[in-house]
Amino acid sequence: MFDWNDLKAFLAVARGGSTLSAARALGVNQTTVARRIEGLEAALSLKLFERGQTGSRLTQAGRDLVEEAERVERAAERFANRAAGHQRGMAGSIRVTATEIMANHVLMPGVAAFRQKHPEVNVHLIVTDRALDVEAGEADIAIRTGLALPASDLIARKLGDHDFALYCSRDYAARRGTPTPETLSDHDLIGGDMEMADGPGMAWMFSLAGGKAPVTRSNTMSNLLHALKAGLGVAPMACEAADADRNLIRCSGIIEEARPSSWILTRRELKDAPRVRAFLDFIVPYLQAQSRLQIERGRQMQAQASAANDLSGTDEAGAASS
């Protein structure tokens, strides 16, 4: 019977195309890799690779078994992750997943502050807009944003609510005029793709625009923010992210139908692990305070922008009358 190391060698050769490449990836010598492949083929009574001067090429049987081997690989990783999660010592690492917007705008400084207080804890940030399976062990802690949390056995603590409004760039407004909810059908709309298709405010915007097709789509909130800054069109965006950018202007009031909330989640068996508990106790109030601070800064910037626009309008009116 083969063991997991045989499958690791099989996958490494399949991915690298040679036993030499696999040996480098696995940190072993080439002879060890070749011996494991031979042992696996003997155990299965199957030829998995065609060997040649240019490397190793998968046979039909080998190609058919790669997907199954990758399933075993993922199961082994989940097993190791769950086992690591049962460690109760303070020293060690925790894996935290968050979206790019959350990680870059808010979470990263918080992690730095936490590490100053707890240098013995390593925080591995997994930045993705894909919802990793925390229950299966893909991450220890997740920060999620949405209109509602799906049912699960995870422990959740609410971080706060988020306002959304329509935005465009100042360059776009100068070229096309400032959009309003009533004139959306006359403007270029930026839609969402994949997980972002049902993002906050998207359905509301396209409904007001009479079902008009988007000129482009973004599949992450960060990409949507950059599309707005590039002047591609109009889109709903979190006020705490957009109001902090002087190149963006708000084109609507708060979208009442789009007020998602953020939560921080972890597994029940992890919530009392010392390093997880220390991280949660530090980062929850930190993120809550940062959210309030960003909202207040955004309001101040919007007020300043409105005052500047009013002053500009007054100057123009004075110049016209003279």
Contacts of 36 (CB under 8 A, 6+ apart): 5, 6, 9, 10
With tokens 């070229």, the residue in question is 175
Read off φ and ψ for residue 143, nearest 5 degrees: -110, 120
- Tell me which CATH code domain 4-85 carries: 1.10.10.10
As a whole number of angstroms, the distance between CA 139 and CA 145 comes to 16
Collapsing DSSP states into helix, strand and coil, what is residue 133? coil
As a whole number of angstroms, the distance between CA 165 and CA 237 comes to 6
Residue predicted with more confidence, 319 or 160: 160
As a whole number of angstroms, the distance between CA 78 and CA 16 comes to 24
> Which pLDDT tens digit goes with each residue over 17-59?
999 999 999 999 999 999 999 999 999 999 999 998 888 999 9
Residue predicted with more confidence, 290 or 237: 237
As a whole number of angstroms, the distance between CA 190 and CA 288 comes to 30
Q: How far apart are the first and last CA of the chain?
A: 95
Token pair, residue 7, equals: 């499958």
Q: Which has the minimum average pLDDT: 180-184, 204-208, 290-294, 306-310?
A: 306-310
Residue predicted with more confidence, 307 or 285: 285
As a whole number of angstroms, the distance between CA 80 and CA 259 comes to 38
CATH 3.40.190.10 domain residues, the chain: 92-161+261-306
Q: Looking at the structure, give the CATH architecture of the domain made up of residues 92-161+261-306.
A: 3-Layer(aba) Sandwich (3.40)
- C-beta of residue 212 within 8 angstroms of C-beta of residue 135: no
CATH 3.40.190.290 domain residues, the chain: 164-250
Return the CATH fold of 164-250: D-Maltodextrin-Binding Protein; domain 2 (3.40.190)
- C-beta of residue 96 within 8 angstroms of C-beta of residue 281: no
**Confidence (pLDDT) at 320:** 47
**Confidence (pLDDT) at 249:** 93
Residue predicted with more confidence, 136 or 168: 168
With tokens 């894909």, the residue in question is 130
> Which pLDDT tens digit goes with each residue over 73-124?
988 887 776 666 555 567 788 999 998 888 887 899 999 999 998 888 899 9
**Confidence (pLDDT) at 49:** 94
**Confidence (pLDDT) at 196:** 78
> Which pLDDT tens digit goes with each residue over 164-220?
999 999 999 999 999 999 999 999 999 988 777 778 899 999 999 998 999 999 988
CATH 1.10.10.10 domain residues, the chain: 4-85
Residue 259's alpha-carbon distances to 107, 236, 290, in angstroms, are 20, 11, 18
